Structure formats: C-alpha cells, structure tokens
Amino acid sequence: MRKLKVRKSMACIGGTMLFACAAWAQTAPPTPKPAPDVVAGIPVNYDEAKVGTYTLPDPLVLNNGKPVQDAKTWLKQRRPEIVSLFETEQYGKAPGRPAGESFEVFEKGTPALNGKAIRRQVMIYLTSDKTGPAIQLLMYLPAGVTKPVPMLLSINFGAVQNAVDDPGIKPETVWDMKTNKRIQAVGKGFGKLNVEPLLDAGFGVATFYYGDVEPDYRDGFANSIRARYAKPGGTEENRAADDWGSVAAWAWGMSRVEDYFETDKTVDSKRVAIHGVSRLGKTVMWAGAHDERFAAVIASCSGEGGAALSHRDYGETVAHLTAPTRYPYQFAANYAKWAGFPDKAPMDANLLVALIAPRPLLLQTGNTDSWSDPKGEFLSEVAAGPVYRLLEKQDLGTEVWPAAKVPIFRDGLNYYMHDGGHGMVPSDWDIYVQFLKQALHPER
C-alpha cells in the first residue's frame, strides 16, 4: 500500500482535561488542567519537535496497489476495503439490524419549551423479547412545522431528563459502575443540549443515553447489547479479536435510532446529522463512516481512536487508549496490537474521515485540549481531502492549521477550534447551527 509522507510542524499547544467528560453546558471555558505527563505508566508527548515524520496510509490506493482514479472505484472497491479494515483492526465487527427490533411511541406529540417545540418520546427495543437493552429516545420538533424536518441526533453521557430543562421528560435511570446496576440519575448540567437555537433554525433535535446500549465500564459487558450477540459463555475477556467493542455498540445504537426515524413521518430521515463528544465523538465518527444513511457528522474532541492521527505521536496514543487499566473494552481486541508501533498500522484517522465522504463533516476541537490533539484532527482532514475532491466535494481549502475561533466552512470538510479545552463551550452551538444550515438545508 502506498503511504502519504507527512512532516509534523513545530507549533505547540497547551494542556487539557484527561478524562472524557462532555462539558456541553459550560457558561465559560474552564481553566485547563495541566496536561498529564504520564498516563497508565506510559509517557505522553506534547512537543512537536519530538514528533518527527510519519507516513499515512493512502485512501486512494487499493489493497492490490492500484490507484483509485474515479468515484465508482472508490465506492465499489476502496471504501468497502477500508470499512473492513476498521472493523477488523479497530472498532470490531457489529451485527446488522436486529430482527426483533420494535418501536413504541409512548408520547406522540406534546407542546413543550414554552410552545417552541413538540416533544415526542419513544422506546426502541433492541431485542424481540423486550427484556434486553432498549433506547429511550427524546425528540423535539419545531412547533408549527407541517413537513418532515431535518434532525440532529446527539448521543449523550447522561439521562435524557438531564439533557433538557423540561419537566415533561420521562425520567430514566443510569448505570452505576460500583454496583453494576441502574440507579436514579442525579445532578444537572452534564450533557446539556442547547435545543432552542436548533429549533429556531428549523431543525429537530433527538438524544439518548449511551448506557441504554452499553454501560461504559469493563464489567458492563453482561448488561450490554454485545452480550446478547455473544456466544454462550462469552465475556469481555474471551471475545474474538475482531469482535465489536463499546464504541461500535454505541454507534450501532445510533443506527437503530435511524431505523426508527425511517418510520416517523415527522422526520426527514435522509437529513439526519449525528453529534457526540469525546468517546462519543469517536462513536459518531464510526457511526457516520459505517452507516451511510447519516447525512452529516459533528464530532467534538474525538481525539485518539477518532479523528486524531494515530501515526502522529502527540497527546493520547493507541497505547494509552488500550492500556488494561483504561479503555480496551471500547475497541476490537486487535486494536491493542498497534499500541507499540502505530506507525505500522494499516489504518489511521484520515481513512476514517474519508469514509464519511462525500457527506459533510465538522470536526470541533479546543486549542488547549492537547491530550486530544486538535492539530492531529485537522491534519487527518487535510489528508482525506483527495477523497472529497474525487467525489466532487470541497476539502478544507488549506493546509495551514487555523487559529482558535476561526471556522472553516466548506460543502465537504469543515473544522473549528474553540478557545478552550475538552468538550464544548456555549459558542460552539452557533458554529453547529451554521454548519447544519449548510449541510441539511432546513429551508427545503
């Protein structure tokens, strides 16, 4: 396979939060915590001068070495090759649509949010007996709209009743890592969605708690959708090397919501954008890459294992991500074998970005989020640009990393870096609305 040589620049960025907390409702950028120098016993590099050079896999070269010169070859040959590569080596192989899937709309349409919205609530049962994992979906549609609306589907770290200030939301429980049981959700402000600007712009908004699909800790396997597909006696420890991890499971859950949207006449299921933060940014990258029904993707600070380049030794690496004390359960077991030498891996984030082409992608980062490598995310889009151009969509139009608060809006690849750290700040919602107007055309 021909690879792309890239020289890393000398710019350096500051510290950030280490852990995957989605600060979606912050009133001001938080004071960045010092970037960790060692994680899971593994040193962390934040010095561009120590990165050197790296060679990226070329998205436009087939496994047999022949170049991809037209859209048909990309769509029929190269794209399936890359999907298979990520399924085998990084995220794992997930099943298709479950035969027993069913939907229960338990609230069909109630005025909400001071008359701005119509609230709808749905249970998406992922197993035929309805005793397995099920998604509680919260939806808001713009009031007074009579035609199917484009949607933003945001996968959330918290219970749906904590996502929006609305007393009409049916409360749900969340998983407790200590007891491995579901408990009452406590706290407000974590995972808040700024719904009103989206409604004002003509978009519907939907969200669900990621734990409805799988608890986010190693011992959560038994209560996950993955356990329902495992062989008798299957566990997290003995799963096949290319079996799906949690990220693929959460992405699979997003596809099940799209299944429901295809049955809902109030939703334009062909204009659904997806959004997630941190590990859920990784989730929406894979969901968008794997399921072409999604019309656009917004990934916030997805970092390593998402949109940041793994071949680039900066911030979190595959070794940090797959260390036994951290998140190996989130990926295929095969992913850990690249921990010592990611420069040898046949895949990287530029290929993942390319899988979303020709659909619009926005990577939102933070200039002090060193751990997630915002520059590495920008460079992955640069390296995926040839695929977007091949499919007659715009690349970023520049190879110069922009300053904070300078958005790049194009009809294909888009990038924005806020002034702040990991997750989101309030002003990011304005960027999202601008992107979605361009990507989903709510005026249609």
Going from N- to C-terminal start, the domains of the chain cover 3-58+276-440, 102-271
Residue 371 and residue 423 in contact, taking contact as beta carbons nearer than 8 Å: no
Residue 92 and residue 419 in contact, taking contact as beta carbons nearer than 8 Å: no
For 336, list phi and psi in degrees, rounded to 5: -65, -25
Catalytic-labelled residue, pool 246, 269, 278, 370: 278
Residue 101 and residue 177 in contact, taking contact as beta carbons nearer than 8 Å: no
For 135, list phi and psi in degrees, rounded to 5: -95, 125
CA pair distance 300, 275, nearest whole angstrom? 8
Query: For 184-190, which contacts have Cβ atoms below 8 Å and span 24 or more sequence positions?
Result: 185/158, 185/159, 185/161, 187/158, 187/162, 188/162, 189/25, 189/162, 190/21, 190/22, 190/23, 190/24, 190/25, 190/157, 190/158, 190/162
Residue 440 and residue 296 in contact, taking contact as beta carbons nearer than 8 Å: yes
Q: Which amino acid is at 207?
A: T
pLDDT in single tens digits along all 444 residues of the chain: 555 655 433 233 333 333 333 334 433 444 556 788 999 999 999 999 999 789 999 999 999 999 999 999 999 999 999 999 999 999 999 999 999 999 999 999 999 999 999 999 999 999 998 988 999 999 999 999 999 999 999 999 999 999 999 999 999 999 999 999 999 998 765 679 999 999 999 999 999 999 999 999 999 999 999 999 999 999 999 999 999 999 999 999 999 999 999 999 999 999 999 999 999 999 999 999 999 999 999 999 999 999 999 999 999 999 999 999 999 999 999 999 999 888 899 999 999 999 999 999 999 999 999 999 999 999 999 999 999 999 999 999 999 999 999 999 999 999 999 999 999 999 999 999 999 999 998 876
Catalytic-labelled residue, pool 275, 290, 311, 422: 422
Fold of 3-58+276-440: Rossmann fold (3.40.50)
Torsion of CA 324, 328, 332, 333, to 10 degrees: 0
Angle at the Cα of 375 (from 379 to 342), degrees rounded to 5?
Answer: 70
Verify whether residue 278 is a known catalytic residue: yes
CA pair distance 123, 126, nearest whole angstrom? 9
- Helix or strand (DSSP H, E) at 286: helix 279-290
Structure tokens at 364: 């939102």
pLDDT score, position 191: 76
pLDDT score, position 25: 40
